[in-house]
Amino acid sequence: MNPDLALLQPYPFERLAELFAGIEPPPGTPVHKLSVGEPQHAPPAAVQQALRDNLHLLSRYPATRGQERLREMQANWLRRRHSLRNIDHQRHVLPVNGTREALFAIAQTQVTRGALVGCPNPFYQIYEGAALLAGATTALMDTREENGFLPQPEQLSPQQWRAMDLLYLCTPGNPAGAVMDESLLMRFIEHALEYNVLLVSDECYSEIYPREDAAPTGLLAACERAGNTTYRNCISMHSLSKRSNLPGLRSGFASGDATVIAAFLRYRGYHGSAMPPHHQEASIVAWDDETHVRENRERYREKFAAVMPILAETLDFGEPDGGFYLWPRTPIDDETFARELYASDGVVVLPGSYLGRKSNGSNPGSGRVRLALVAELADCIDAAERIRDFAQRL
């Protein structure tokens, strides 16, 4: 067995299942799950129809590189969304089976054993697992309230930057929903070029944001603004899971540095991770339509507007700049809060400490819980009212 497997920590939802072992909510209490970031809105009808219309393609092997028409559509989306002038679908874009798979796999392509891999803390645990199974160790950038829940390149020493092969960013961030602005992204790009580190920006939440006139920027847009017109040392990853309510489609793409994309394609050819052809056809439809995405954002805005005043009666939190999570502080430790809330009120939330690691003397996720507003509006309101009442009883 690969000895590095022993380094992997239990996934947050494994820990949550252990925390709830032997506990049942009161009889007759409907359970509301706010723990998992799995969109519950209906997938676009046109995408579902495209899947049905192309089931005959199951008789064909898909190309790892994906259909040219899909790569063209993904490049066109980057041009529309991020005003990119230099993106080339032949060199800069590669379809992937969702960002989870790609975020993990790219470390296996780019990281040398014994190197460092940087990431924010708290984080999406795939970043850590990818580093460990590539034979690397992590360098953590704590994202706390005092720094706006945003990583800063200066949190890593010159020695760490020199030892690093790859650094993960996430904007909007998971779990706090903080957005990295252009100037912060440019500072990371400057460090990455100076120390020859690959930046991998996880932008899977980028299409959910509070104001229609304030869409979050992305890493490749910051590259062009900084004069890095070839996107050297920079990769951004996008997904249909959150944008289009298609987590089961497993469809996204990696884009950026052509040399990295070429190496990633070579790896993926051996990895056997080509997107099924009918999924590619459905993805073309999804990337070409913004109407359902705007409607999706509006539904999240409605939920935030309804839920935040209820929770604000008893919990302390800020409004996120993007994504669909709330990241409130808890009046007792986060594990106890999550366990007792489930036992008394049937609401499932994720302890923040499960998303972070102890760093600089403490875990920056401790004392908070992550709430995913992915359920229907009525369920989110009912869950918020139960959380408020539970916190009042405390």
Q: What is the pLDDT of residue 133?
A: 96
Model confidence at 2, in pLDDT bands (50, 70, 90)?
A: confident
Answer CATH for 45-289 from 3.40.640.10, 3.30.2350.10, 3.40.50.300, 3.20.130.10: 3.40.640.10
Alpha-carbon gap, residue 388 to 212, rounded angstroms:
29
Using DSSP's 3-state secondary structure scheme, residue 202 falls into strand
pLDDT at 383: 98
pLDDT digits (tens, 9 = 90+) for 300-314: 999 999 999 999 999
Q: Residue 121: helix, strand or coil by DSSP?
A: strand
The beta-strand segments (E) located in 317-378 are: 325-326, 347-348, 350-351, 369-372
Map residue 201 onto helix, strand or coil: strand
Q: How would DSSP label each residue in 280-323?
A: HHHHHHHHT--HHHHHHHHHHHHHHHHHHHHHTTT-B----SSS
Nearest to 143 by CA among 108, 117, 101, 174: 174
Rounded to 5°, angle at Cα 330 from 328 and 336: 130
Per residue in 144-193, pLDDT tens?
999 999 999 999 999 999 999 999 999 999 999 999 999 999 999 999 99
Burial label, 158 (beta-carbon count in 10 A; 0-12, 13-18, 19+): exposed
Q: List the alpha helices (DSSP H) in 119-181.
A: 126-133, 158-163
Query: Considering only the top CATH level, what class is 3-42+292-393?
Result: alpha beta
Which residues fall within 8 angstroms of residue 22, CB to CB, at 6 or more apart? none
Residue 327 has pLDDT above 90, yes or no: yes
Residue holding tokens 């992550």? 370
- 94 sits in which H/E element: strand 93-96
- pLDDT reading at 338 higher than 80: yes
Q: What are the boundaries of each domain within the chain?
A: 3-42+292-393, 45-289
pLDDT of 273 strictly over 90: no
Say what percent of the chain tops pLDDT 70: 100
> Same CATH fold, 45-289 and 3-42+292-393?
no
Give me the long-range contacts of 334-342 (CB less than 8 A, separation at least 24): 334/365, 334/366, 334/367, 334/368, 334/369, 335/19, 337/369, 338/16, 338/19, 338/369, 339/19, 339/20, 339/23, 340/390, 341/386, 341/387, 341/390, 342/20, 342/23, 342/25
The pLDDT tens digits for 31-46 are 999 999 999 999 999 9
Contact, 79 vs 87, CB < 8 A?
yes
